[in-house]
Structure formats: C-alpha cells, structure tokens
Amino acid sequence: MDTQHPDLHPLFAAHLSLLKQRSDAALARGGFDHLVIPAGSLRYQFLDDRDYPFFVNPHFKHWLPVTRAPGSWIIYTPGRRPKLIYLQPADYWHVVPDSPAGYWVEHFDIVIIRQADEALAEMPKDPVRCAILGEENSALDRFVPNNPRGVLDFLHFHRFIKSEYELAMMRVASKIGTRAHRAAERAFRAGESEFGIHMAYLAAARQTENELPYTNIIALNEHGAVLHYHDLQHAPPAHKHAFLIDAGASFHGYASDITRTYAADDAGEFQALIDAVDAVQRKLGGKVRAGLDYAALHIDAHHQLAGVLAEHGFIRMSAESAVESGVSSTFFPHGLGHPIGLQVHDVAAFAADDSGRTIERPPGHPYLRLTRTIEPGAVVTIEPGLYFIDMLLARLKVAREARDIDWKRVDAFRKFGGIRIEDDVVCTTAAAENLTRDAFALLDQA
C-alpha cells in the first residue's frame, strides 16, 4: 500500500466492517439490539446565548469523518446498513453543515433533517433496546444516553487497536503537526513571543485553536517547567534560553501529539542535555513491540533518564538508587505516554481485557496514563522529559538524598525550564513505525 497517497475507499470499507464486527459483539454482550450514537449538542455559556466550541462525540467520529454536525445521529443495527441522521438546519445565524460527501457516504443510509427533533421519527421503536453512547445533553425525548458499561468496556478496549484507515488519518495529522512545528521553531529563532510563536503555529497548521486536538503548550525559558503551560506571554523575554513546544494537529477526527525542545544558540550545555534526552526517547520508541508491558517501559525510562542525570553531573548516585529513592521522579514527574487516536489521551489505557478489568499503575507512579500490554495496531506516545521544577526541587532539598545533588548545577539550569521530546509510535508485527519522525523526515526531504 502507498502510505503517502492511500486509496481511502477500500481502507474505509474495511474500517467500517471492523466497527460492525466489534459493535455486533458489544451489543450481544450487553443484551441490546441497536447502537445509537449522537454527535452531540451545543452547550451554551451560563447566563448567555453564546455556545462553547463544539467537540464531537468520539464514538460518532469513529464511524465517519464528520466532526461539525451537532444534532446528528448514527444508528446501527446488526445485519443492516448504518443510518446517518444528519441535521442540516435552516439557519441564517450560523454556517450550515455541508451536505454529506466523500469516500464514506456510499456506506450509509443518510436522512437529512432540518430540526433536531425530526430525528425521533428515524429512531428504533424501543429505546430500552438501544445502547445509546454520548453525553447527557444529547438526549432527545426518550432517547437518553445510557452508556452501558459492558458495551463501552468492549468497544473501548478494541478501539486501542487502529485500523489501516485510522493509521492513514494519523499519518496526515502527523504531517500537519510537524509542518507547524517547523514554523514554530523558526518563530522562536526569530525572537517571537510565546503568543507570536503560537500564531505562527496556527498559520502553518491551517487550523484554529478549536480545531487542534488540544491546547498548545508554547513555553519559553523557565515556563518549560510548567507541564501544562498555557499562558502565552505577548512580550518576548529579555533573553531567550530555551523553547518547549507540545502541540498537535487534527485530521478527519484523529490527533497527533508532538513535543520538541530547542535551545537558544548560546545555551551551551543545555543542548547537550536535549541531545541526551532525545537519544533516550529514540531508544524507548524503538522498544515498542507486540507484547510490550508499557508500565515496564515507563520504569525503564526512569532508569535511562537517571543515567542522563548522573552523566551530566546533576546527581551523585547510581541510576538504580535515583529511581528507588524517588529522585528520578523529581526531574521526571509525569508518565512516559498514553494511547492516542480519536482522542489525545485515548480510552482503555488501563484495560486488562474487554470485560472492564484494569491494570494498576506501578507503586510510586501516580501520573502514568497507560499500563496495558501493547498489541499490533496500537498507537502510543513516547514522551520522556527532564525538568527543573522549583516546587519539586524544594522538596528534594530537604530530603535525605539532597546531599547527592549538585545544587549549584541544578540552579544553573532552572532558567531553561525543562526538556520533553514526544513522538507518536505505532506497534506493528515487526519494527515500530514512528509517525512523528517519519513526518519530520518527509518534511525535510521536500
């Protein structure tokens, strides 16, 4: 298959066939006859008539690449073609969704409605026989989302494994994201503020903030030590030391999630530290294989990053001691990564199987977002980091292990904030496919 320009018609047909198989099994397990999925409804701000940005139900966009049709529904009954009830309102206040078109429409019975309550005429006769997946505000008369646990557990567990169609969507999302990352780096080198870098990113991605899969993290200097930094200073700092960007892109409902850290031209040893974290990140990404225990890979990341801390003179202890004592968690306080796909932090990250059983996080690692065993078709992020976070360093300074820290060296690196390198990696039956590195390579060849 040509992964650069795949034919989406057969890919989508195979994807839809897979969804039907999974849905048949989920409905049988739950004792339901129909799967009913609302796209979602607009939510209005408190005491106002302005709505919040609309984000489609991920179960809805799993079936078709439609993300801007609030009030629409999908109905699937085993043995029948899925039905799309498509709300295309008569409205001159807002943009009306385009008529359904593209490679997917031939697979659906499509009913156009002009008012939301017209969907009732197209619903199954008995709501009790329906598994209705969505938010409460999507309710329409007797069709109230019930989100049956057994159905969700089954669908979520298997959604962890992507179809070839889904991987094709994610490759495009990666290409858009890497293109925008390059524009953001250029803006940083040109001396732009965080706000200016953010705007350069949006322009290159050709996506608005609400179209991105998550809020960009654009952090200069010490702001890189704030793991979810979103403030966007409008004025550039007096001196630029470092730039951490965590930003992705969307394509047909699928996400990319990419992080890079850059040193200023005069940052000295900080670039060497970035290079060391990058080497660790590449090594960890290369370990993504079928049967991999992701929680074990997270612990491996701690050992490797502790080795970097020792090699670069921040700690005077072995990597094993740094991990066992919790010192490594001061510098690497978050999890190694998470599943990604229809959602940035996708579902079933802790699932042991499709029955709802879960796998606990390792003791001492409360922020790890993924513990399950990796299988071919899974897409996960690999995002190790090292940070100089004042609050965590203050705690370490009064601990017994403080004597094994070179505090003068640590203090000299606080101005850089931190380092995070993140790729989206596909587990295959052979070597892992790195969506992010491949997209950057294609961009550099152009």
The pLDDT tens digits for 82-104 are: 999 999 999 988 889 999 999 99
Give, as one character, the DSSP assignment of residue 191: T
Beta strands 130-132; 34-38: pairing state = parallel
Q: 216 in the Ramachandran plot: left (φ > 0), alpha (ψ -120 to 50) or beta?
A: beta
CB within 8 Å of 208: residues ≥ 6 apart? 202
Strands (E), 198-354: 217-220, 242-247, 250-251, 254-255, 258-263
CATH number, span 8-159: 3.40.350.10
pTM over 0.85: yes
CB 237 within 8 A of CB 243: no
Q: Is 249 exposed, middle or buried (0-12, 13-18, 19+ CB in 10 A)?
A: buried
d(CA 68, CA 371): 33
Domain ranges in the chain with CATH number 3.40.350.10: 8-159
Per-residue pLDDT of the chain (446 residues; tens, 9 = 90+): 445 668 999 999 999 999 999 999 999 999 999 999 999 999 999 999 999 999 999 999 999 999 999 999 999 999 999 999 999 999 988 889 999 999 999 999 999 999 999 999 999 999 999 999 999 999 999 999 999 999 999 999 999 999 999 999 999 999 999 999 999 999 999 999 999 999 999 999 999 999 999 999 999 999 999 999 999 999 999 999 999 999 999 999 999 999 999 999 888 899 999 999 999 999 999 999 999 999 999 999 999 999 999 999 999 999 999 999 999 999 999 999 999 999 999 999 999 999 999 999 999 999 999 999 999 999 999 999 999 999 999 999 999 999 999 999 999 999 999 999 999 999 999 999 999 999 999 999 97
Q: How many CB atoms lie within 10 A of CB 440?
A: 21
d(CA 315, CA 399): 14
CB within 8 Å of 315: residues ≥ 6 apart? 306, 309, 322, 327, 404, 405, 406
Domain 164-445: give its CATH superfamily: Creatinase/methionine aminopeptidase superfamily (3.90.230.10)
Beta bridge partners of 215: none
d(CA 242, CA 188): 9
Domain ranges in the chain with CATH number 3.90.230.10: 164-445
d(CA 184, CA 49): 35
d(CA 404, CA 441): 41
